Structure 1
Amino acid sequence: MPYMLIRDVTPAECNWLPRIYTVGEIVYKYFGATYKCIGKNGSAFCEVPDQIPFFELPNDAVTPVE
């Protein structure tokens, strides 16, 4: 399922991110195993649908794309 970033998310905010994810960028909800490494305020996403690597983004930084 595609999601769009509604604000920038930087490595300064989320130190596990390798780069800045910018407003308007499309990411995809990841439904594979996350090994309990996703926090309660975030969700797992990937840049290509259903592909690893996955990464956590804050829930308040994304909105579903219809």
Structure 2
Amino acid sequence: MADPINMLDERGCVVDMVGMMPGRENTWSSDRRFTDVLYYNIGQNRGILAYDDAQHPYARSGATR
């Protein structure tokens, strides 16, 4: 299963925040507060995961549905 404890959005946000994802806002590339960037990236990740879940439910859940 890709996300057994339903924390992929938050765990992915850590990668975004330290600047490991090109094109994503991070701690060093933004003039906004840390928490603003954090919650923005969490929202982005949740949107991506919701789309993936809607379009490819078996791939997202590890084919356990």
TM over 0.5: no
Structure 2-normalised TM-score?
Answer: 0.23
Structure 1-normalised TM-score?
Answer: 0.23
Bigger-Rg structure (1/2): 2
Name the structure where helix makes up a greater proportion of residues. Answer: 2
